[in-house]
Structure 1
């Protein structure tokens, strides 16, 4: 069954993890950056302005995009920042789409790009082949193994838990889940969202 639903008062595991990581990032950023690189160097590598990094270090919560960029440069997974996870947040809202056997969910209250979306792939199944403009980033949250395929003439890439890949999304690609269900985060462009799960669009901010 395909379709889009909105579920009030439900926070997915990914939403909880992202929220906890956002809260933990300021102190981690100060500790990890000092002695390794200046704010100017970190700004050059992430594309985040020095003034924004200074505010984050002072305690201002980053956006999900800023969180992922900083974690990538510093070599830290968002899951490594975990504190206690909060559940049952009544103000949260999950936008969920079931499409071709896959479950797609927003990880922020609004489906705004370039924030990532969460995809659940059933064990032993693959999602539909897609290609689109820009690059795509995929992070394996849960599951034993996910195979990222790029067509006949390219070797597939294997993702294990807490591993990530980014690639040229103009190449046809699809994901295959191994022995158990897989949950991935996908950071998509607008054309990527339209190509993979257009039903998730149509929310303010896109």
Structure 2
């Protein structure tokens, strides 16, 4: 065997090794994506405040199958993920957290919950969630405060946003921001005659931003700190 043949054999060996490593990496990526689907589905359902029974009714998937899917005991398939993506109004790659392969722009799909409009500003379901939210005039003035795990930050774009936080009442206007632990009873409302728009960042694990709102001496108003 001459030197040229040795070089060709070595080249083939290197290509085979590289192909094997690439296949192994792709397999590991796929396994990681599939393992993350269940927790992502559970987080999305809780974020949308939807019960398993309600989701079952909308998708035609049994409650037991949905529960096993969220817990990782059922392998996600296209037949299961497609109706879930349709119910949540998200794309399949967003639902499973597939790696970004091209256009980084986000194409938000608004949805309405409890009478207010949510416009998602983040692609993936893990970590912080960003939304633009729109409150109709005089929305939620009688809303009951609620509690849940996490930490929230909001920034008012236009109009007035009234935040009931524990026994405090804060009225935020354009350019003002607030952050708070969502385990404190809270409720948003719009006391004005025009729609109110604000940005909201929510971290289910308690991620914090660095701007706080403080009540004025009169019990209303907000300021940056």
* TM-score, normalised with respect to structure 1: 0.44
Larger Rg: 2
* More helix by percentage: 2
